[in-house]
Chain A
Amino acid sequence: MSVTPIGWQSPARREAILALLAARADAALAQWARPDALTSSFDHAKPAASVESCWMFDARRGAIVVQGPENGFGELGCRLVGLATSDGLGIAENLGRRAFVDVLAAICGVGAGECAIVRHYVPAAEQMEPRRGTVSVRWQIAGLELTLHLDSALCEHLLPRIRAGQANLIARDVAVTTTSVEVEAIVGLGSIDALRIADLKPGVVIKTDARLDAPVFLNFGGADRSALNGDLIALGERRAFRRGNTTSHEELT
C-alpha cells in the first residue's frame, strides 16, 4: 500500500527548490565542462505535450521522474565532448549518462554511487501530480530539454519544512487534564411516593428521608457520574462543596 501525503508545494518553496537545483547543477556541471561550454537553466515546467522517453532516477531520499528525448544521454555526451553527431559506438551515450547521473546526484545531495536510474520507466499519473507534492521543472542543458518531476520526499530532503506548529505542541495528558468539565453538586434526598408527586405545588414542604449529614456528590460528565463526595458548606456568599474522606476511585459509579 502506497501512502503519500496530499499537499502542494507553495510557490515560495517551488521557487526556492528551483534556485537550489540551478545552483547545484551549475556547481556539478563545472566538474564536467567549462561554464561557457555547457549552459544550464531551470524554469517551471508546463505539462509536456508529448514525451519521447522517460527515466526514473532513484536518489534514495526521493525520486525524480525524467522526461526527455529518446537519445538524451547520447546528445548530452556529444555536447560534452564536442561531437556534432553520436559516435555510434555508445561512447558519447555512456559519457552522457554518467554525467547525467553525476549531476542529478549532486542536485539531490547524494553520492552518485547511491543512485540508480531506471530506463524506459512508465510513471504512474500521480507521480507527476502537484497535489502529491511533486515539483515539475524544465531543465535546459546544452540545448537539451528535459522535464524533471521531483517527488515530495525529495523536495522535503532538499528543502526541509520548518514546522511552526511543533513548538506549540503539548503532551496528551496535559491536554486531557486541563480540559474543563461542568460539575454539579447533588444531595440525595431519598425517595418519595409517586402519589405525593401529584400534591406538589408551590409552598408545599416535604420532609425527606435524608439526614442533614447525608453526603453531597460532585457529579460530572452528564447524568450519574459521581466523582467525589463531601458536604455542603457556606463559603462567603456562596455555597461550596467540601471534599470528604472517601477516595474518588471508590466513588466512581
Chain B
Amino acid sequence: MKLNAIRDVAASADADAAGRTAVLDDIAMISHVRVDLSAQIGTTSLTIEKLFGLKAGDVIAMNESLDAPVTILLNGRAVAQGELLAIEDHYGIRILELA
C-alpha cells in the first residue's frame, strides 16, 4: 500500500466509509504508531468558584452511575463505549460498542 491508494480513497467523499475500511485493512503500514488511550469516566457541571476552591480530599459526584459505561477516547476523540476493568494492578477496558 499503497499510500496513494489511501489518498485516492480518502479524496472521494462518496467513498468515505470505504476509505476508513481501507485504512484499517492497511494499518500494518502504521503499526509503529502509538495512539493515546483514555477513558472519560464521568461528567458534571461546576461553578468556577467551586472548581478552583476544591481542596485535597474534597469529593465531586459525577452524573454517571457506577455501572454506566465509560467513553473510550483515542487521541482525545470518543470512539467507543466500554467497561472499566481491573486486570491485576492495571486498568483494563472491555469494548461494548464501537462507532
**Interaction A to B:** yes
Q: How far is the CB of B98 from chain A (nearest CB, A)?
A: 6
Count of chain A residues near B, Cβ 8 A: 58
Q: Could you say which interface size class chain B belongs to?
A: 35 or more
**Any A CB within 8 A of the CB of B54:** yes
**Any B CB within 8 A of the CB of A212:** yes
Whether the pair B90, A183 counts as a contact (CB closer than 8 A) is no
Closest B residue to A227 by beta carbon equals B51
Known A-B contacts A180-B45, A185-B41, A194-B30; A234 and B51 likewise in contact (beta carbons under 8 Å): no
Whether the pair B90, A181 counts as a contact (CB closer than 8 A) is no
Chain A, residues 161-178, CB within 8 Å of chain B (1/0): the string is: 000000000000000111
Q: Tell me what chain A mostly uses at the interface: helix, strand, loop, or mixed.
A: strand
Whether the pair B46, A180 counts as a contact (CB closer than 8 A) is yes
Q: How far is the CB of A225 from chain B (nearest CB, A)?
A: 11
Known A-B contacts A189-B93, A239-B64; A179 and B74 likewise in contact (beta carbons under 8 Å): no
A121 to B25 CA separation, bound complex (whole angstroms):
86
A183 to B52 CA separation, bound complex (whole angstroms):
12
Inter-chain CB contacts under 8 Å: number: 189
Whether the pair B38, A248 counts as a contact (CB closer than 8 A) is no
Chain B contacts of A232 at CB under 8 A? 41
**Any B CB within 8 A of the CB of A250:** no
14 sampled A-B residue pairs with Cβ under 8 A: A176-B48, A177-B49, A180-B47, A186-B41, A192-B34, A193-B34, A195-B30, A197-B74, A198-B27, A232-B41, A239-B62, A240-B59, A242-B57, A245-B56
Given contacts A180-B46, A189-B37, A189-B93, 15 further A-B contacts (CB under 8 A): A178-B49, A180-B48, A186-B73, A188-B36, A194-B31, A200-B80, A209-B90, A212-B89, A237-B65, A238-B62, A239-B42, A240-B62, A241-B42, A243-B57, A243-B59
The 6 closest A-B pairs by CB, nearest first: A177-B49, A195-B31, A191-B34, A194-B33, A189-B37, A185-B42
